[in-house]
Structures are given as structure tokens and as C-alpha cells.
Structure 1
Amino acid sequence: MTDLSKEHAIQDRITEGLRHAVDDADALIKSGLKQGDEQVQALRDRLASRLQHSREQLQMLEEEAMLRARSAARAVDTQVHAHPYAAIGVAAAVGVLAGLLVAMARER
């Protein structure tokens, strides 16, 4: 796994965790006590506002990640089309290295 793919996997886990946390907090607010004094209601309102803000930030983060991924995919596609034989050579070299690593791991 490359550093870039590890970074994407970590970002995906963080994003998914944040989404679940926001959804859980939202459910907690909605299922909370309907009655309460003014301080509790003010606290609930502030939490609801912060949750909405967090949802918006999370949405922006996801959109930015998608734009970056699409841009990277376009750049790779452009390079592969511009240099097809080099791309084939790189893919073959990666395949040989992966095969060697697997063979070495089986010998242990």
C-alpha cells in the first residue's frame, strides 16, 4: 500500500467516524427530553448549531477530496496516454517486484 493510498484510507476512516459521530449526536438531540429549563434548551440549541456546522464542513471536506481524486486520476490518465510504453513498463516492473516479494514471503 503506497503512502498516498494509506493517507486516503486514513482520511476515509476519519470521515466515516465523524459522520457517525455527527449522526449519533443529532439522534441524541432529537430523542432527548422535550422539556427542560432555559439553560438546557440553550445548550441543545448550541449543540444543534455546532452539529449543523460540522455537517457542512464534513460535506466540504468530502467534496474537496473528490475533486483531488478526480484531478489525480485525470493527470495519471493523461500521462498514460502520452507515454503508453512507459506505463506498460512501469506496470510490468511493479508486477515483477510484487511477484518476487510474494515468492520470498512463501519461502520463509
Structure 2
Amino acid sequence: MARKTAKNAQEILMADFQALVFDAERLLEHTASLAGDQAEELRAQIKESLFKARETLEETKESLKDRGQAAVVATEDYVQTNPWQSVGIAAGAGFLIGLLATRR
């Protein structure tokens, strides 16, 4: 369950960033009709920013994937080796959340 949730969150985040980069690229293509040195300079800056954004996006994607996978594996290992402690922690957390929810 946790594995699916983490994967879905990562996929949503990646899709959002990819849509942002795609939209910026389309904007860059539409500004190609502009003339002048300033327009050309602006397009060059946008291209450089998009290139850096793509690199950062790929690095972030791999980092999130690795960290998410490590967290899921560590949690599953802990729960499998300490099932009763896990149940106790979950019950305690549920009790505290219940107390906080009833105070409002």
C-alpha cells in the first residue's frame, strides 16, 4: 500500500514538472516570431533555463525514486521483524490523533 502511494505521488510530481517544461518549450516556440536582439537573448536564456530544469528534474526523479524505495523497504523490514511493536506504535498514533480530533 505504501509502495503504491509513494509511487503515485512521485508519478504525479514528475508529470507536473514535465507539463511545466513542455509548456515552457511551447512558449519558446511561439516567441520565435519576435524580432530583435532582446528577443533572441530572452529565448537563449529560456532555453538555458529549460535545459537546467530538465537536468534537475532527472536528478530529482532518480533521487526521489531511490529514497522512496529505501523508505518503503526499511519500513517493511521493521514491520516484519517487529510486528507487535508496529501494532503498538500504530495504536498509540491513532489514539493521539483521536484525542486531538475530539478537542476541536
Q: TM-score, normalised by structure 2?
A: 0.68
Query: Which residue type is aligned with residue 53 of structure 1?
Result: K
- 2:61 corresponding residue in structure 1: 62
Which runs of structure 2 are paired with 1:87-102 in the superposition (5 Å)?
Answer: 87-102=86-101
Q: How many Å apart are 1:35 and its aligned residue?
A: 5.4
Change in 2 beyond 3 A, CA 1:90/1:40: same
Question: How much does 1:29 deviate?
Answer: 0.7
User: 2:100 and 2:42 mapped to 1: Cα distance?
Assistant: 57
Shift of residue 32, structure 1, vs aligned partner: 1.1
Residue 20 of structure 1 and its aligned partner are, at CA, apart by 5.7
5+ unaligned residues in a row in structure 1: which ranges? 1-8
Secondary structure of 1:36's counterpart equals: coil
CA distance in 2, matches of 1:38, 1:103: 64
Where does 1:14-29 land on structure 2 (aligned, <5 Å)? 16=16, 21-29=20-28
In the alignment, the residues of structure 1 paired with residue 77 and residue 89 of structure 2 have an alpha-carbon distance, to the nearest angstrom, of 15
- Alignment partners' CA distance in 1, 2:101 and 2:38: 62
Using the size of structure 1 for normalisation, the TM-score is: 0.66
- What does 1:5-20 correspond to in 2, within 5 Å? 16=16
Q: 1:100 to 1:40 in 2, by over 3 A?
A: closer
Structure 2 portions without partners, runs of 5+: 1-8
Amino acid at match of 1:91: A
CA distance in 1, matches of 2:103, 2:97: 10
What residue is the counterpart of 2:44 in the other structure? 45
Q: Which deviations, in whole Å up to 9, do the C-alpha atoms of 1:12-52 show, x marking residues without a partner? A: 98xx5x65654443222111143524563354234213312
Aligned length: 93
